[in-house]
Amino acid sequence: MTLLTDLLERNARDYPDDITLVELNPIPDDAANLRWQEYELVETGHDPHFRRELTWRQFDDLANRFANLLIDQGIGKGDRVAILLMNCIDWLPIYFGVLKTGAIVAPLNFRYTADEIAHCVGIADASALVFGWQFTERLGQVLDHIPTVRKFFFLGREVPAYADSFEGLVGGYPATKPQVDIGQDDDAAIYYSSGTTGMPKAILHTHRSLYSGVTTEHAHHGQRKDDVFLLIPPLYHTGAKMHWFGSLASGSRAVILKGTDPRWIIETAAQEQATIVWLLVPWAQDILDAIEAGRIDLGSYDLSRWRLMHIGAQPVPPSLVRRWQRHFPHHDYDTNYGLSESLGPGAVHLGLENTHKVGAIGRAGFGWQTRIVDDQGADVVPGQVGELLVKGPGVMKEYVKDPEATAAVLQDGWLYTGDMAMVDEDGFIYLVDRKKDVIITGGENIYPVQVEDFLRGCDLVKDVAVIGLADPRLGEIAVAIVEPKPGLSVTVERINQFAEGLPRYKRPRLVVFGQVPRNATGKIEKPKLRRQWGAEGVVARETERA
């Protein structure tokens, strides 16, 4: 029986002095709270970086110290510990420290409002909360609404009266492994849905499920000891962490970059000799825009070790991948599909050898099965749209305290994803859209992702989102919110002209210009757009209808 914590302990034994984690702060937003004695100021090409490192032994020691601290405070197997931190070098040791106690770790989205924090802590019945200085104001608003939390641990200098200093306490505890009997089928972690249709749901995973993320990720990308993973997305989400599991499996190094500026990403990849970089769609677009506008000169950077760019968390426009390959022709490319309910990425996997299938999310990942079914649950034929189902070792145990929602998506081990997809004659799956986002106009189904992918092929467009708005005659109409590339003059007429390449029924009936909001994992926040344009769009239709 192998657990995640066993791999950490193996690496601490086999590679004790090898660097495992590097934190880079290009421009610290928490300068007053940085523990300056632990950081090195590094001069780089354009901005100073504040740098901190951990070895595998230090990582494991810190996890053990925190585990022993929790146990001493009466928090152990079956309890829940919430983490509310920005990405930092302490994040993963804290996560592993909770796992070592047998408690259940519950990472929280750092963008949550005070009410969302209270809701998610309440679902988890968390006994302890580890948090950073950025969240003191929000927590202060809801302290009376999270009565289950009896211990608060604070990372930073100005410790609130209701909390204890993490740094002040953890160093006083032994770095020895706590003796706790933990089984693979014990509960291990609670993750939260994106909450795009209401308050987030709490998703429960076991230790077996977490470990499956290691085997799936390592099988897909074959991480080696000399790889360097550039880690940018938020660690509270399954995606970044499960891709980092490849570094855990191989004992290799990861660099946590606190910032998404295109120059920072390219410069860090060169400086740290990154070999694997996982990007979200907006960041990849920003990098390409900066290269094509002359703000980044790739010839100024040594990127010779960068071997793999992979991307996910949302549908990936084929036009973006083709642009990327023009500038980085020697990169392997991959995309992965998954949900927090299926332990993040890997349930469906394109594969490095299948770049010719760009646009597909791939086939069933390592250890996974897939189906695409109609509304009656029957498998559809190739080319027909249906709902994507996945089955595998990383499927969640349940939605916490929500048996009705659990029963709606878990049937006979199959997870109903809510994503509409189709499969081609070679067995490759193409994501069409979220089931709830399908637009029905005059009896025809419009899948917004297909329209978005097409419109992003326009040289004037930086980003685009397509939503449905009510229409008295057609039921719904497709509305395109277009975010132009900076500095370019774009008209509705120009977008409509480009859209003539679509079948008539798929063309947006309304085009408006505005920013396309995305959450921390890169997904378009369509409920926000529906609220924003629901009223404004009605007024604008007379002049902007396509």
Question: pLDDT, tens digit, for every residue of 194-218?
Answer: 654 467 899 999 999 999 999 999 9
Question: For 72-83, what is the mean pLDDT?
Answer: 97
Band of pLDDT at residue 41, cut at 50, 70 and 90: low
Lowest-pLDDT choice from 47-61, 111-125, 143-157, 525-539: 525-539
The tokens of 35 are what?
A: 């523990």
Question: For 315-337, what is the mean pLDDT?
Answer: 88
The residues, any chain, with a CB within 8 Å of residue 356's CB and separated by 6 or more, are none
How far apart CA 281 and CA 452 sit, in angstroms, is: 13
Question: For 426-451, what is the mean pLDDT?
Answer: 78
Contact present, 492 and 511 (Cβ < 8 Å) = yes
Per-residue pLDDT for 312 more than 60? yes
The tokens of 112 are what?
A: 């949550």
Looking at residue 544, its pLDDT comes to 42
Band of pLDDT at residue 29, cut at 50, 70 and 90: low
Per-residue pLDDT for 543 more than 50? no
Contact present, 44 and 8 (Cβ < 8 Å) = no
The string of DSSP letters for 444-459 reads: EEE-HHHHHHHHTTST
Band of pLDDT at residue 538, cut at 50, 70 and 90: very low
Q: Give the chain's mean pLDDT.
A: 88
The string of DSSP letters for 20-31 reads: EEEEEESS-TTG
Query: Which amino acid belongs to residue 24?
Result: L
Question: For 277-294, what is the mean pLDDT?
Answer: 89
Looking at residue 420, its pLDDT comes to 84
Lowest-pLDDT choice from 98-102, 213-217, 239-243, 379-383: 239-243
Helix, strand, coil content of the chain in percent (nearest 5): 35, 30, 35
Per-residue pLDDT for 249 more than 90? yes
222 φ/ψ sector (left φ>0, alpha ψ -120 to 50, else beta): left
Looking at residue 542, its pLDDT comes to 37
Band of pLDDT at residue 419, cut at 50, 70 and 90: confident
CA distances in angstroms from 32 to 23, 38, 423, listed in the order given? 17, 14, 53
Per-residue pLDDT for 546 more than 50? no
Residue whose structure tokens are 């344009």: 533
How far apart CA 190 and CA 125 sit, in angstroms, is: 11
Of 285-289, 474-478, 532-536, highest mean pLDDT: 285-289
Per-residue pLDDT for 354 more than 50? yes
Band of pLDDT at residue 537, cut at 50, 70 and 90: very low
- H/E stretch holding 44: none
Q: Give the pTM.
A: 0.83
Contact present, 70 and 98 (Cβ < 8 Å) = yes
Residue 133: DSSP 8-state: G
CATH architecture for segment(s) 438-544? 2-Layer Sandwich (3.30)
Residue whose structure tokens are 């991480």: 223
How far apart CA 102 and CA 66 sit, in angstroms, is: 13
Of 27-31, 50-54, 196-200, highest mean pLDDT: 50-54
How far apart CA 138 and CA 125 sit, in angstroms, is: 18
Per-residue pLDDT for 545 more than 70? no
Q: Cα 51–53–56 angle (5° rounding)?
A: 165
How far apart CA 163 and CA 151 sit, in angstroms, is: 7
Residue whose structure tokens are 């969640």: 396
